[in-house]
Amino acid sequence: MARLGRGGFLALAVVFHLVYILSIFDIYFVSPIVHGMRSWGSEGYDAPAKRLVLVIGDGLRADKAFQSFPNPTPENPTAEDLIPRPLAPFLRSRVLEHGTFGVSHTRVPTESRPGHVALIAGLYEDVSAVATGWKINPVGFDSVFNRSRHTWSWGSPDILPMFSMGAVPGRVDADYYDAEFEDFTKDAVHLDTWVFDKVKAMFEEAKTNATLNDMLRQDKLVFFLHLLGLDTTGHGFRPYSKEYLHNIKIVDQGVKEIYELIQAFYDDDDTAYVFTADHGMSDWGSHGDGHPDNTRTPLITWGSGIAKPITTPGKIAPGHADNYSSDWGLQHVQRHDVDQADVAALMAYLAGLDFPVNSVGELPLSYLDAPIEQKSQAALTNAREVLEMYAVKEADKQRTELRYQPFHAFAGDGKSVADRIQQIELAISKEEHQQSITMSKHLLQDGLQGLRYLQTYDWFFLRVLITLGYLGWVAYAFTTVIDVHVLHGGSPTDRSAVSLAIFSSILVLLYASFVISESPVTYYAYAFFPVYFWEEVYAKRNGLASGLKALFGGIVGAESVAFGLEAFIFVAALEGFVQSYFHRTIFTVCYIVGAFWPMLYGMEFIFANQSIVLPWAAGCLTLSTFTLLPVVKIENANTVSSGGLLMLAVGILYLAFEQKITSKSRSGQSKSQVAPLSQAIMGCQIGVVALTILVTRSSISSIQAKRGLPLGNQAVGWLCLISSLVLPFVHRLAPNNHYLHRLMVIFLTFSPSFILLSTSYEGLFYFTFCSTLLMWIRLEHAIHIHTTSTTSTNGGISQPPSRASTITTTTPNNTDLIPPSPRPNRQNLVEARTTRTLTTSDFRTSLIFLFLLQSAFFSTGNIASVSTFSLDAVSRLIPIFDPFSQGALLILKIIIPFALISAALGILNRRLGLKSSALTMVVMGVGDYIVTRFFWMVKDEGSWLDIGTTISHFVIGSVLSVFVAGLEGLSELLIAGVDVSETVMDDKSRKTVDTRKTSNGSARSTDTIKADKQDERPVID
């Protein structure tokens, strides 16, 4: 096969990792939806209620619904207002006197769409559906609404359409407000009062509209009230704010009014009421992951068919063993916890509807006010509905598998589904109802386990295949690094007809099994990559052996012990990076160690490079504090402004002293004044930073005062964001290719974005991180010069750069943001550049790069999920809820540090005399150690917090690997044409040395450069 070039390798890396990210969905998130089942519903008994009212307080945490607080918004504050009291007295009265309550436990992702699907359809939709659409129904699942005679719904345009569009035409009426109502910068109470007013208006209209009145008098009706105010307020002001607590009062009062309205309209007791939430909310106003604050929601039911509360005065009632409800004042009332999907089964039973055919919920019998014989029949019907899905899935799996292995619970004599149903019916006929209920529960649980068995049928095979793919990539990447950066592409391939036949046969057999099993197309890609990678490694085995000998062949005796210790530290560091996803303080330890790492090169090196080592140590020690700061960040205008002022100060100081700072440049620009136009353009960038600070402070003040986001602030904010990203291109008019100038342009380019999108100390991190990156470039260069001169003087150390071979390459000039100025006596089409091979010391540089990459993502936030990132900042630009636009801004904030790292990496490659892709390719190989570890850490059992966290870790680790490939291309864009030359003094000879003309990246005297100037022939040792 043809050898892939640098671009081909990076493209392959991106495609491979993106494809393998999909494996997590094929393994853990296969859609549970199947079709072709018959429906099951109430048989042999009357429906407990003629109609059902479902109220969902979007984003309402269970604890906030029941806890007591001082009056958050007193009209005339008195001492009595400071006394804690329940904020939802009406709902509390339902719990104490009229109905049954508990905690509904959601699953990840704790977002609005999957939460509502679980509540109304009874199924846990696969996580990929969150990205499919918020306002549509991309898959045809059944729902309680679809089973009703008619459903009226009011609320958000983000939720209602996906149920009305997925139902029988005309069965579900959806009345929702415009998206512009969902303004995160204002009090969102009006979102809920709009819903209450619409419900009142409909019942008022029914008094004069005979058609509507007749429809409302029918049975099997559902009324759905979606209250988004709590979620919007929680995002904007946090769930502990007075605004959120006041919204709870509004919701409680509104539910009370609607209850009284419906009771008066029907004048009967045939209405059942269910109040719950789709998800909770974290203390910092976000949701999405499996944190308990996000997964625990209230469930309060009362009305027709609902059991009355079970109380134990003076004692703690059952259900409170976890102490979660210890401060609710309800410990004498029995708590009945359920899984979120169980609510759909409960609602279907209450309204006399068939269970949704895709429902996996278990009917919570403790909520029912029904005789035991009716409960036993309902439990059996519930089990049959689940087993109907199992039968369809099993038949489909039997059809596509060569040797199907049935689920053990239903295999054997007397264990079949039909046999067990017959046994339950026999118990019911003998009026052994409690026993039949127990048997039905066991049958339903076995049915759910059977569904899981069928859904995970291919897990072991897929896990092995994916692991072979990741290991193959690591081996392939390392082989390519050896070939390109050690042997300079001189490694021949050695294939035989036998080896090709073996690898081809393996691929053909895998593909044949996929065809028979009707596997998804992604399975073919999962199989192709490991076969391709391992075949390439086998074909280049001789070159791999030669490269390993070239790298490590000279390490003998005592050096081998030292090298073994270095290798152990390298692997331990990689494992440390894995553990840092769980313990952020590991970043702190790494930064502290890094601050003192230069001391390993001796005090002579420290004293000779104080201006580099001391700022590096200060930067590392400062960065070590960020992972000790709390993840929960409260919006603070002063902290945001402080970070912005530091950025502004750096820009002003550089502009004032640019001539002096860049005076060491050999490009000739140091001999003349810096172009006034260049300074003017940079001055504009600095002005944008200053304007961004002012508008951000103004926006924060307005939003916190609940005045909303002024249109002028929004316009100026967008102007700052866009102009900051456009101004760098204006530097084309006055090119300055000094690497310090380029880094400052990039720093000022992203400063306004970071100020606009920060809520607290992120700007301070940005400033410190950028400063440390600059010191890292200079420190690595100083170490390289030091070790090179030491090697040439003393005859070698354990990592001798002088062992590296050299090669002079010609590459086309790149089009850049700032194109290179014409050079005398040199063609504009090509530019000669001398590079060296990789050495073992470069692996240490790659490790630091990988660490900085992880730190850039995790130093200012948690790593469980993207829900950690607050919407406070993006509301300064997009105050109206728009998940994809707001998410795009959050992603921009996340990737800004990566742009800085890419520029630093590109400059460092050049200053060390390496090819531009050398360090990147090393990182992309070793980085998949982290991904593979996370792949096997993924949990499918245990708490949803554990499951969601491990899945998030795998996805984040995989995406970072893709970022590394993207950084290589971004690096070329940001630093193409940059001049990294610098005149320095040798530590011992005090002669002028220059690294730019040195063939292997080491420092040489000016005399030597002149002597070698005429001979730049490619040399491969």
Each residue of 260-269: pLDDT tens digit?
Answer: 999 999 999 9
**Domain co-membership, 280 together with 138:** yes
Give 353-395 pLDDT, tens digit per residue.
Answer: 999 999 999 999 999 999 999 999 999 999 999 999 999 999 9
In a domain, 976, yes or no: no
Residue with tokens 């060296």: 836
Q: What is the pLDDT of residue 953?
A: 79
Cβ neighbour number for residue 176 with a 10 Å cutoff: 22
Q: Which stretch of 536-540, 650-654, 811-815 has the lowest confidence by average pLDDT?
A: 811-815
With CA atoms as reference, report the closest residue to 428 among 382, 373, 378.
Answer: 373
- Distance (Å, whole) CA 340 – CA 344: 8
Cβ neighbour number for residue 891 with a 10 Å cutoff: 12
CB 163 within 8 A of CB 173: no
Q: Which stretches does DSSP call E strand in 228-339?
A: 271-276, 296-303, 338-339
In a domain, 971, yes or no: no
CB 862 within 8 A of CB 583: no
With CA atoms as reference, report the closest residue to 19 among 516, 504, 521, 578.
Answer: 521
Q: What is the CA radius of gyration of the chain?
A: 33
**Domain co-membership, 163 together with 253:** yes
Q: Choose one of 306, 337, 352: the last residue of a domain.
A: 352
With CA atoms as reference, report the closest residue to 349 among 398, 288, 301, 408.
Answer: 301
Top mean-pLDDT range of 232-236, 515-519, 766-770? 766-770
In Å, how far are 307, 643, 645, 754 from 757, measured between CA atoms?
50, 12, 15, 5
With CA atoms as reference, report the closest residue to 552 among 786, 843, 926.
Answer: 843
Give 824-878 pLDDT, tens digit per residue.
Answer: 443 343 344 567 788 888 888 889 988 988 888 777 654 433 334 566 778 888 8
In a domain, 361, yes or no: no
Binned at pLDDT 50, 70 and 90, residue 563 comes out as: confident
- Distance (Å, whole) CA 192 – CA 182: 11
With CA atoms as reference, report the closest residue to 817 among 681, 687, 982.
Answer: 681
pLDDT beyond 50 at 1008: no
- Tell me which DSSP letter residue 37 carries: P
Give 566-619 pLDDT, tens digit per residue.
Answer: 888 888 988 988 888 888 889 999 999 999 999 988 899 999 999 999 999 999
**Domain co-membership, 745 together with 829:** no
In a domain, 125, yes or no: yes
Report the chain's mean pLDDT, rounded to a whole number. 84
β-strand partners of 175: 154
- Distance (Å, whole) CA 577 – CA 583: 10
In a domain, 512, yes or no: no
Query: Token pair of 221, please?
Result: 């009706």
pTM above 0.85, yes or no: no
With CA atoms as reference, report the closest residue to 766 among 596, 662, 640.
Answer: 640
In a domain, 4, yes or no: no
**Domain co-membership, 187 together with 57:** yes
Q: Choose one of 735, 760, 785: the last residue of a domain.
A: 760
**Domain co-membership, 813 together with 753:** no
Q: Choose one of 352, 381, 404: the last residue of a domain.
A: 352
- Distance (Å, whole) CA 286 – CA 297: 15
DSSP element (H, E) containing 633? none
In the chain the first and final C-alpha atoms are separated, in Å, by: 26
- Distance (Å, whole) CA 233 – CA 13: 42
Cβ neighbour number for residue 285 with a 10 Å cutoff: 26
Query: Token pair of 151, please?
Result: 């459903």
- Tell me which DSSP letter residue 428 carries: H
Residue 732 belongs to what domain range?
Answer: 629-760
**Domain co-membership, 662 together with 742:** yes
**Domain co-membership, 819 together with 756:** no
CB 784 within 8 A of CB 1002: yes
pLDDT beyond 70 at 1020: no
- The domain spanning residue 163 has which CATH number? 3.40.720.10
Query: Any long-range contacts for 654-662 (C-beta under 8 Å, 24+ apart)?
Result: 654/682, 654/744, 655/679, 655/682, 655/683, 655/686, 658/741, 661/740, 662/738, 662/740, 662/741
With CA atoms as reference, report the closest residue to 586 among 239, 800, 824, 851.
Answer: 851
**Domain co-membership, 748 together with 827:** no
Q: How many domains does the chain have?
A: 3
In Å, how far are 96, 779, 896, 901 from 967, measured between CA atoms?
60, 21, 11, 8
β-strand partners of 150: 221
Q: What is the pLDDT of residue 945?
A: 58
In Å, how far are 27, 403, 421, 718 from 447, measured between CA atoms?
20, 21, 12, 54
Q: Which stretch of 316-320, 728-732, 845-849, 916-920 has the lowest confidence by average pLDDT?
A: 916-920
In a domain, 695, yes or no: yes
Q: What is the pLDDT of residue 184?
A: 66
**Domain co-membership, 142 together with 277:** yes
**Domain co-membership, 704 together with 814:** no
> DSSP string covering 469-508, please?
HHHHHHHHHHHHHHHHHTSTT-------HHHHHHHHHHHH
**Domain co-membership, 688 together with 816:** no
Query: Token pair of 822, please?
Result: 């014409």
More confidently predicted of 327 and 34:
327
Burial class of residue 256 (count of CB atoms within 10 Å of its CB; 0-12, 13-18, 19+): middle
Give 400-428 pLDDT, tens digit per residue.
Answer: 888 889 999 999 888 999 999 999 999 99
**Domain co-membership, 823 together with 749:** no
In a domain, 190, yes or no: yes
pLDDT beyond 70 at 985: no
